[in-house]
Amino acid sequence: MNTFYVTTPIYYANSLPHLGHLYTMIVADSIARAKKQRGIDTYFLTGTDEHGINIERAAEKNGRTPKEQADYVVSYFTRMTSEFGLDTEHGGYDIFMRTTEPFHYEGVSELWRRVAKAKTPHGNDALYKGHYEGWFCAPCAEYKTEDEYQKPKNEGDPPTCLIHDTPLDRVSEESYFFRLSDYEEALLSAYERPDFVRPEARRNEVISFVRGGLQDLSVSRLKTSVSWGVPVPDDPAHTMYVWFDALTNYITAIGFGNEERQKAVGFEKFWPALHLVGKDILRFHAVYWPAFLLAAGVELPRAIVAHGMWLDPNGRKMSKTLGNTIELDVLQKHFSIDAIRYFCLREMVFGQDGRFGYEGLIDRANSDLASGLGNLSSRTLTMIARYCDSRIPSPVIPEDKLLLAKRTGVDTDETTIAGFIEHARNQFLLHFENLAFSRALETAWSVVARVDKMITDAKPWDLAKDENQKPTLSAVLYRAAESLRWLTVLLHPVMPGATHAIWSQLGMEGSPAHINPAELKWGQLKDGAAIGEVQPVFPRIDKVKTMSEINAGEKPVHATEADTAGAPATQPAPPMTHATEADAVGVTSFIEIDDFAKVDLRVGQVLSAERVPKADKLLLMKVDIGEEQPRQILAGIAQYYEPEKLVGRKVVIVANLKPRKLRGYESQGMVVAASYGEEGRPVIATFTEDVPNGARLK
Ligand code: MSP
């Protein structure tokens, strides 16, 4: 039987799910649905990576055991997968793999044993005991990596611990090493298969890395240093290196080293897998993982495909500190799952970095979905309801009406449009197979445009006025409806919900999930069949309203930074009294109420905000404070706020501050913000209840 196995990385159980996680799951889910649609027995894995020092640390910080920490994060992941329709119940993943599963321990121990017995291609032992050397902090009781210590000022001095500010000790501990250096040639020959590591640019990077020479890899730590992990078989004083353990999940999940799992899923049945990974973890997947498998005599993966990173709309890395992350609960609240899935696949050219912003998402959803596919679907079906008594009309223009039809400019030869769509289908499937999702979707939208044009040119509303043109009208609407049927089948893996809805509105039974797009034949839509109730599939999003809701609901920067390992995603921001308490420390003298009354504080709403050229810190805003004209205000907050995120937001303005010129612009007031931390980070004051612009604060 034809089978297929696709995996996402398994995510660290020390931080809550974010857009990066959601993205890879959406890609894997779309691939899996496309395979299932073609009748291929498909297995889709996602899950969590639950061992290692970082999870131990997160657990300690949150007063949990490491397993409790993992369970806690997993509960957020499963909530996310359910809310975004990616879990088994919604036709998504087949397993949520957890490396704390006992069967995983068994499987990973089996792989270790095989590697331990293996000889390298150069005839050496693949695994050997040596010494791991590193900088150790006694008070922390752990080794420190380069980004965890302060480099010494004087050469020869030891580095110091960033936490304790004490010198680190150079310590060497016993460790198992994997003889990676003996696998250079074997790996290089594996990379000769051009589709093994993709895309091409990444493959070249991996090849040069390996050609540059490989160092043997430390694959265990003493239990006294890292205890949260899989014990080394027959030597429990050692804990396996977390990447050895984590990578192996891809085979233990389907039955490697465990009878029960083997029976339930089947290693031989599904292996090898296509691994989807972010480019930041490509080396682990494309160098270490194949080398471990080569040593153990296990077949190499089908492919390792690296995707790019999501950046903010200005091309900057997303980070909590910059406050430019995309929050999953905001996505979930304001956008349909299908719009998010479509945006993810359409906007990121697979393999390259992409830019993700709420505004961009709204624009795409409105142009491509509401005005594009959604409009095509509703105009076609509404006309079928109105002009054809809600039944799929006949595609045939009788001989005696052909001349008449031709006079309207309608192409009487149905095979023209059928040929166009067939060609587009083939291109779509080819791009999809090559994981060029953005191009595949572009191709599908060329069909939307073509059919839209056919309708607009034929003017069915005019044809309907002439009884003699009834067959022409029917033929045009049939072609539109049949094209729509093809589009729903093609697009089903990307937008399962919306395509299912269009399918039912077309009056089709079953689901496009079970129609093989490669077997679509023009004309399978039965004329005479009743269509379903016509309903909008992609309602238009009101951009100003939605942006203002998103911005108003935006969490203060310090709240989103809170304890990524422990805080629930919806945890309310810490109470504002934090700021006033801190400020109170600095109070030296008191003012009279009249002094305060001199300050004219008003409620304002940001109408526009943009960066000031050549001024990194300044934003130029137009703010409505209830006067005839909006105020122009400059604020030194550009390093902390995305201008577009401020639009629609309610703010507090000092309205009677003497105007002054900054960088050639007059600033007619001041935005009130709290300021904290050494760098004086601003947090703009706002309101949690509705309040009209211009209202005074007193
Ligand atoms: N636990 C390891 C993987 C082990 S697989 C055997 C790990 N986990 S992770 O939680 O850090 O998840 C990383 C995945 O999320 C990577 O594929 C990474 O590329 C992806 N992303 C993290 N931030 C991202 C973006 N901003 N954009 C897209 N993907 C991003 O690494």
Query: With DSSP H G I counted as helix, E B as strand and the rest as coil, what are the percentages for the chain, rounded to 5?
Result: 45, 20, 35
Whole-structure pTM value: 0.80
Q: How far is the CA of 21 from the centre of ligand 1 (A)?
A: 6
Quick check: bond before 272 cis, omega within 30?
yes
Q: What would the mean pLDDT of 431-459 be, rounded to a whole number?
A: 97
Q: Is residue 622 classed as helix, strand or coil in its secondary structure?
A: strand
For the chain, give the mean pLDDT: 90
The residues annotated with a catalytic role in the active site are: 18, 21, 137, 140, 161, 164, 317, 320
Q: How far is the CA of 469 from the centre of ligand 1 (A)?
A: 59
Q: What would the mean pLDDT of 664-681 be, rounded to a whole number?
A: 83
pLDDT of residue 317: 87
Q: What is the pLDDT of residues 556-588, one digit of tens each?
A: 333 222 233 333 332 322 222 222 222 222 333
Residues 261 and 252 sit within 8 Å (Cβ to Cβ):
yes
Sorted by sequence, the CB contacts under 8 Å of residue 455 that are 6+ apart come out as 376, 379, 380, 476, 480
Q: What is the pLDDT of residues 248-295, one digit of tens each?
A: 999 999 999 999 999 999 999 999 999 999 999 999 999 999 999 999
Judged by phi (left if over 0) then psi (alpha if -120 to 50, else beta), residue 289 lies in alpha
Output b/e per residue, 465-488; b: 16+ Cβ within 10 A: eeeebbbbbbbbbbbbbbbbbbbb
Nearest C-alpha to atom 26 of ligand 1 is from which residue? 310
At 151, list the tokens. 């480099």
With cut-offs at 50, 70 and 90, classify the pLDDT of residue 554.
low
Q: What would the mean pLDDT of 407-430 be, rounded to a whole number?
A: 94
Phi, psi of 582 (to 5 degrees): -60, -45
pLDDT of residue 588: 35
User: Strand pairing partners for 602?
Assistant: 653, 696
Q: What is the pLDDT of residues 582-634, one digit of tens each?
A: 222 233 346 667 778 888 899 999 999 999 888 888 899 999 998 888 999 99
Nearest C-alpha to atom 20 of ligand 1 is from which residue? 20
Domains of the chain: 3-107+242-347 (3.40.50.620), 121-239 (2.170.220.10), 357-519 (1.10.730.10), 593-684 (2.40.50.140)
Report the Cα 358 to chain-centroid distance in Å.
13
Q: How far is the CA of 309 from the centre of ligand 1 (A)?
A: 9
CA angle 239, 18, 543 (to 5 degrees): 175
Report the Cα 126 to chain-centroid distance in Å.
38
For the CA of 21, the nearest atom of ligand 1: 15
With cut-offs at 50, 70 and 90, classify the pLDDT of residue 163.
confident
User: Any idea which residue has 């121990």 for tokens?
Assistant: 109
| Element counts in the chain: helices (H) and strands (E) | 27, 27
Nearest C-alpha to atom 7 of ligand 1 is from which residue? 11
